[in-house]
């Protein structure tokens, strides 16, 4: 985070942490591979850009000659368009990174003109129609976030005097803004939360880099719509919403911080110091949440402690060499936006732990509902993508507690990412049986927030206070609520116990308690385990006769 907030990690520190995750021998092999076969994916140019930004800021001077080789290979490859092949996913993501690095080292005078002019020449030779692989026809039937990344890259070239095609930028900005919903959230296919935020960030970059085409006013209006939802969706543990692909990676926190820095800068430009401070506080909370992950050795890019080579928690495309350096890329953008958002972070907002309560529901496109009360937050999904999640209460976070101790994201029966034990069932906090989950209302009153649901014949009421989440379920005959017990994070086992009325999970000096408080209610092992990106969970169920009340709390273990 920016040093002006007092946070122990600066954005430049995050860039350096991303670069430090790649040992010199790995980088040397990477350079050899690219020199032989060309750049095949965008992890290499992103790493290149991160090193350049560090050099321009007086860090990693020992990597100066390495950068010269990295940059020459990357710029030559971008000019040749060699990443334009199915599945390689490269130049849309890479060109802006390379332009950013070039401008940074030029300003700092790190390299002689003979080097920088060579890189300029390569980047100036880029032809959008040949360089980029995502060139959908206007009106194509699904959103194409790659096209927006391509717009950011072309606008970067325009801003840097490296050519660039304004018609390309306008064409795809005008086309892709039709995929924003009523709240200004970008509807990538199946509405993954990650690709709302990260695509909005690309649109923000286009504006920041000077785009002033016919679609500018409409784009700004749509981005402004998403300002308040952006804050409403950040969890008490500093995480973006779960939901869909590419979730639970360290870089998620950093692009969220960059988005918030853009909103802070925009609010600052309008003279709204209070709004700017709130966004800076949210950015700080997201980056604060990375501090323990960055202390892990060897560092992981996904939020678990399984061996890196296992790929657990990752889709096939979400490998370390691509997604670890991506954290540095987003940090560099956040640092750039933060320059225009000076001022103290707010101490009296949700991220600061004030005793406020709120509820927010997205449009049905995203089908998320969020509750906040004091240090707690909760997230529901009522139409989850079964390839990644399941319906129900898929997250309860408490500020300061390990995010996964209750649940950060549901367990899907057959996820599209690697897990420790495949074939487990769907697992979230949700009524068992009854029918599909459907929202029936939500709101806040005093210091609590609430959400009502129907599940066929069942009625489910959840109330979140600063002390506990209370779950009340009613229906004909026996009713049951499924509960997750966190067992293993990839390295450490938790302590799980159940006496028939109280299910307890102890982890890292915190305790999550599920207590059956209604008369005659009980909690029992459901007989299966399931896994998500964070680790392994054992399923339990609370049962009651026609009515069931369960309280869920997360407290420091020494308070018990």
Is residue 160 a part of any domain in this protein? no
Rounded to whole angstroms, how far apart are CA atoms 518 and 241?
A: 31
- Strand 536-556 to 469-488 pairing: antiparallel
Residue range 417-467, pLDDT digits in tens: 999 999 999 999 999 998 999 999 999 998 999 999 999 999 999 999 999
Is residue 396 a part of any domain in this protein? yes
For the chain, what is the domain count?
A: 2
Q: Which domain holds residue 447?
A: 355-559
Please check whether residue 131 is in contact with residue 91, taking contact to mean a CB–CB distance below 8 angstroms: yes
Q: Is the pLDDT of residue 469 over 80?
A: yes
Rounded to whole angstroms, how far apart are CA atoms 527 and 544?
A: 18
**Between vectors from CA 119 to CA 116 and to CA 123, what angle results, nearest 5°?**
135
Q: Which of 85, 117, 133 is the last residue of a domain?
A: 133
Residue range 176-235, pLDDT digits in tens: 999 999 999 999 999 999 999 999 999 999 999 999 999 999 999 999 999 999 999 999
User: What pLDDT sits at residue 83?
Assistant: 67
Residue range 336-363, pLDDT digits in tens: 999 864 544 433 344 444 458 999 999 9
Is residue 507 a part of any domain in this protein? yes
Is residue 463 a part of any domain in this protein? yes
The mean of the pLDDT values for the chain is 94
**What residues are paired with 464 via a beta bridge?**
449, 469
- Top-confidence residue, 9 or 425: 425
- Top-confidence residue, 169 or 91: 169
The tally of CA atoms less than 13 A away on the side-chain side of residue 363 is 15
**What residues are paired with 479 via a beta bridge?**
544
User: What pLDDT sits at residue 518?
Assistant: 96
Rounded to whole angstroms, how far apart are CA atoms 201 and 480?
A: 42
Residue range 263-302, pLDDT digits in tens: 999 999 999 999 999 999 999 999 999 999 999 999 999 9
- Top-confidence residue, 3 or 415: 415
Q: pLDDT above 70 covers what percent of the chain? A: 94
Is residue 100 a part of any domain in this protein? yes
- Count of all residues that appear for the chain in the document: 560
- Residue with the two structure tokens 């992103």: 46
pTM of the entire predicted model: 0.95
Rounded to whole angstroms, how far apart are CA atoms 38 and 85?
A: 12
Rounded to whole angstroms, how far apart are CA atoms 292 and 309?
A: 20
Nearest to 341 by CA among 349, 329, 350, 333: 333
Q: Which of 133, 154, 181 is the last residue of a domain?
A: 133
Is residue 521 a part of any domain in this protein? yes
Q: What is the mean pLDDT of residues 129-138?
A: 92
Is residue 435 a part of any domain in this protein? yes
Q: 555 phi and psi, to 5 degrees? A: -135, 155
Q: Which of 116, 133, 150 is the last residue of a domain?
A: 133
Is residue 232 a part of any domain in this protein? no
User: What pLDDT sits at residue 473?
Assistant: 98
The CB density around residue 538, as the number of other CB atoms within 10 Å, is: 23
Q: How confident is the model at residue 2 (pLDDT cuts 50, 70, 90)?
A: very low
Least confident of 52-61, 130-139, 151-160, 213-222: 130-139
Question: Which residues, in sequence order, are CB contacts of 80 under 8 Å at separation 6+?
Answer: 38
Contacts within 8 Å (CB) and 24+ apart, 218-226: 218/177, 219/173, 219/177, 222/177, 222/180, 222/184, 223/184, 224/184, 224/266, 225/180, 225/182, 225/183, 225/184, 226/180, 226/183, 226/184, 226/185, 226/200
Peptide bond preceding 298: is omega within 30 degrees of 0, i.e. cis? Answer: yes
User: What pLDDT sits at residue 364?
Assistant: 97
Please check whether residue 195 is in contact with residue 188, taking contact to mean a CB–CB distance below 8 angstroms: yes
Rounded to whole angstroms, how far apart are CA atoms 11 and 1?
A: 5
Q: How confident is the model at residue 40 (pLDDT cuts 50, 70, 90)?
A: confident
Q: pLDDT above 90 covers what percent of the chain? A: 91
Q: What is the CATH number of the domain that holds 507?
A: 2.70.98.70
User: What pLDDT sits at residue 434?
Assistant: 86
Q: What is the mean pLDDT of residues 528-542?
A: 98
**What residues are paired with 441 via a beta bridge?**
452
């Amino acid at each position: 985070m920016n040093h002006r907030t007092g946070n122990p990690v600066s954005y430049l520190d995050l860039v350096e942490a991303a670069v430090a995750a790649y040992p010199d021998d790995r980088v040397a092999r990477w350079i050899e591979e690219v020199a032989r076969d060309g750049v095949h994916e965008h992890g290499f140019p992103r790493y290149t850009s991160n090193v350049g930004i560090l050099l321009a800021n007086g860090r990693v001077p020992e990597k100066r000659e390495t950068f010269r080789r990295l940059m020459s290979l990357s710029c030559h490859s971008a000019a040749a368009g060699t990443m334009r092949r199915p599945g390689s996913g490269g130049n849309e993501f890479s060109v802006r990174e390379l332009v950013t690095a070039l401008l940074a080292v030029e300003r700092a005078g790190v390299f002689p003109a003979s080097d920088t002019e060579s890189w300029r020449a390569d980047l100036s030779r880029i032809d959008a129609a040949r360089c980029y692989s995502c060139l959908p026809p206007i009106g194509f039937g699904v959103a194409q976030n790659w096209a927006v990344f391509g717009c950011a890259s072309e606008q970067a070239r325009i801003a840097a005097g490296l050519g660039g095609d304004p018609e390309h930028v306008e064409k795809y900005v005008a086309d892709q803004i039709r995929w924003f919903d009523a709240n200004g959230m970008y509807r990538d296919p199946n509405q993954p939360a990650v690709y709302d935020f990260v695509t909005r960030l690309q649109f923000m970059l286009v504006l920041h880099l000077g785009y002033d085409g016919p679609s500018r006013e409409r784009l700004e209006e749509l981005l402004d719509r998403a300002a308040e939802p952006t804050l409403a969706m950040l969890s008490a543990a500093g995480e973006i919403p779960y939901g869909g692909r590419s979730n639970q990676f360290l870089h998620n926190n950093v692009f969220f911080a960059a988005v918030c820095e853009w909103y802070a800068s925009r609010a600052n430009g309008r003279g709204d110091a209070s709004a700017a401070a709130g966004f800076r506080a949210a950015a700080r909370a997201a980056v604060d949440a990375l501090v323990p992950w960055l202390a892990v050795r060897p560092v992981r890019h996904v939020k678990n402690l399984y061996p890196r080579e296992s790929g657990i928690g990752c889709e096939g495309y979400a490998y370390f060499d691509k997604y670890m350096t991506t954290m540095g890329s987003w940090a560099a953008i956040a640092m750039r936006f933060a320059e225009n958002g000076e001022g103290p972070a707010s101490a009296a907002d949700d991220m600061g732990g004030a005793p406020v309560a709120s509820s927010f529901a997205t449009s049905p496109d995203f089908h998320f509902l969020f509750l906040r009360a004091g240090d707690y937050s909760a997230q529901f999904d009522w139409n989850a993508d079964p390839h990644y999640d399941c319906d129900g209460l898929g997250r309860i976070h408490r500020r300061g507690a390990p995010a996964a101790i209750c649940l950060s994201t549901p367990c899907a029966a057959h996820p599209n990412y690697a897990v420790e034990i495949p074939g487990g069932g769907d697992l979230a906090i949700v009524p068992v049986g009854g029918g599909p989950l459907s929202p029936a209302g939500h709101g806040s009153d005093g210091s609590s927030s609430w959400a009502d649901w129907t599940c066929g014949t069942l009625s489910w009421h959840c109330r979140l206070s600063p002390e506990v989440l209370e779950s009340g379920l009613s229906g004909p005959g026996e009713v049951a609520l499924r509960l997750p017990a966190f067992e293993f994070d990839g390295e450490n086992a938790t302590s799980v116990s159940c006496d028939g009325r109280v299910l307890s999970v102890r982890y890292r000096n915190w305790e999550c308690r599920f207590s059956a408080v209604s008369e005659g209610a009980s909690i029992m092992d459901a007989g299966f385990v399931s896994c998500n990106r964070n680790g392994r969970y054992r399923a339990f169920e609370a049962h009651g006769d026609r009515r069931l009340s369960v309280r869920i709390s997360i407290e420091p273990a020494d308070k018990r």
